[in-house]
Amino acid sequence: MSANFVLFDIPLKPRVEGTEKLYFRKEKNCVCFNTFFGAVPIGKIKKYTDITALEFDFNAQGNFDVQIRTEEKRIASGSFYEHGKISVKLSDIPNTSKLLYPVIGTEKIEKITVLAECEEIQSVSCALITCTYRREEQVKKNTAYLSDKTDHRIIVVDNARTLSPSDFPKEVILIPNANNGGSGGYKKGMEEACKHGFTHFLLMDDDVEIDHTAVQRAIGFLKCLKPEYKDISISGSMLYLDKPTRQFEAGGHFYEDGTQRGFGHYLDLSQEKALLLNERENDINYGGWWFMLMPSKYAEQGNFPLPFFMKYDDVEYALRCKQEIITLNGVGVWHEKFESKYNSASEYYNTRNYLFLCSLHCKDHTDKKALKFAKKQMKAKRKRQQYKMAKAVKRGYEDYLKGLDHLQSLDAEANHREICKLNYEYISYDEIEKRYGVRPADNRFYPPPKGKRKLLTLIPRKFVFTDHFCDNPAQYLFAKYAVHCDCDKNQGYVTGRKPAKSDISALLHFN
């Protein structure tokens, strides 16, 4: 016998400032929910689940009219006073439809719940695992919010060992841990989740902003999967915190030649056309661990992430487990852009872990190709006067050559401390002006040049201003010093050009 259950609630209050159009649109005295958090991903529900019908349950003030629509046509309608329900059979919805959503003739809406009818509802128990390092306030805020809004167990792995059980609701499991990075923290959380017998775990970064209905929607979807899709994983989109309607990525693909592609990059999800593009079935074989919901079966028999510390751990694990991954509109988080965390340590882990990833999952990977990759990265850093980063790349390459056994035995915490000594010190624009007599313009982006000819008319130059993440080697031509600017935070660091025959040239020669 079929049964109804709550699939998800359509959220009515934006979680992050500036994201109203991710939730609803106001059009001619109507409120339309053809949005990221408002629409039902009906195309994927029809493909992946056994749901036979959906029921929309409305509460509002006074009289109101409702239409249930797809992007193509009206499916159903009704008129109500204060409360009303509309049921829709999935068989009545065209197979070409991607989104299903209500349009309501009043702004005085109090609640909208979407219920699903399904012959058999699967039991899903989920552990939400987050790993944190010195982001105490953020992880406490997220944990309190999700504990109040969901009924799933939360596991917090504290790599800094600065938190106590009293910082969290009593249902939260807190695990003090050595600083083994994200991969080590998630491994610890997975081990704990396996002990409790959860069917799934959700890996989520500690510094995200999230609407709880993203979790509700993903879990509801899992409860009605067809048998052939029972082991599916759901990768949440990442949206930029500073441009909160823009998407960084909705899943990606790592290819056997070592290249990779992220899907849905920089789509403006406040636009309906972008939502339809975002609902396309892409060839996804990995998803970021800012939000990854997966069956716990992958962690059985000690199958845990490699000790990558950070960078590429999520990609390697997904490829090793051969995860079948989908994305859903309405499932995602806001995250600080990665440019804000760019430093020499990032280059070390990017180099080392990328080469391990290629050695495990790429065709025709050789030591010669690894050396060529490392040299290319080092030369690029030297052209940018980033000699510490060149050293970090060299160190990453050398540690890759020592093999996976060495990686497994490495003291990750001590190694990370050593690597972080190569990071540049960011100082304020005021301090840059005080030390060097030059000042970047506040909040000004320093784009890469389109060509070299214009630059050649500016030589000789003592200082050049560049963006610390998005730049071009041509910007550094004939400049004695470079000011690498984090234009979002009005801070940066200064480097100087070294003679061509300096000791740094030795970095390009490997034994």
pLDDT(506) > 50? no
The length of the chain is 511
CA dihedral over 381, 386, 387, 393, signed as positive or negative: negative
**Angstrom distance (rounded) from CA 274 to CA 169:** 38
Pick the closest to residue 324 from 294, 356, 357 (CA basis): 294
Q: How confident is the model at residue 508 (pLDDT cuts 50, 70, 90)?
A: very low
Question: Model confidence over 137-195: pLDDT tens digits?
Answer: 999 999 999 998 888 899 999 999 999 999 999 999 999 999 999 999 999 999 999 99
Q: How confident is the model at residue 504 (pLDDT cuts 50, 70, 90)?
A: very low
pLDDT(505) > 60? no
**Angstrom distance (rounded) from CA 428 to CA 392:** 24
> How large is the average pLDDT for residues 56-82?
96
Q: Do residues 99 and 276 lie in contact, with contact meaning Cβ atoms separated by under 8 Å? A: yes
pLDDT(495) > 60? yes
The confidence score (pLDDT) of residue 503 equals: 41
- The answer to which of 50-54, 210-214, 472-476 has the lowest mean pLDDT is 472-476
The confidence score (pLDDT) of residue 458 equals: 57
pLDDT(288) > 50? yes
Question: Model confidence over 407-440: pLDDT tens digits?
Answer: 999 999 999 999 999 999 999 999 999 999 999 9
Count of other CB atoms within 10 angstroms of residue 447:
13
Q: Do residues 351 and 397 lie in contact, with contact meaning Cβ atoms separated by under 8 Å? A: yes
Pick the closest to residue 184 from 133, 237, 251, 236 (CA basis): 133
Q: How confident is the model at residue 453 (pLDDT cuts 50, 70, 90)?
A: low
Q: How confident is the model at residue 478 (pLDDT cuts 50, 70, 90)?
A: confident
What's the number of CA atoms in the CB half-sphere (13 Å) around residue 369?
Answer: 12
Question: Model confidence over 363-393: pLDDT tens digits?
Answer: 999 999 999 999 999 999 999 999 999 999 9
Residue with tokens 């988080």: 333
Compute, in degrees rounded to 10, the torsion defined by CA atoms 81, 82, 85, 86. Answer: 60
The confidence score (pLDDT) of residue 337 equals: 87
**Angstrom distance (rounded) from CA 249 to CA 242:** 15
**Rounded to whole angstroms, what are the CA distances from 171 to 27, 156, 349, 403?**
43, 11, 35, 41
Pick the closest to residue 56 from 91, 92, 83, 32 (CA basis): 83
Q: Do residues 6 and 115 lie in contact, with contact meaning Cβ atoms separated by under 8 Å? A: yes
**Angstrom distance (rounded) from CA 64 to CA 105:** 5
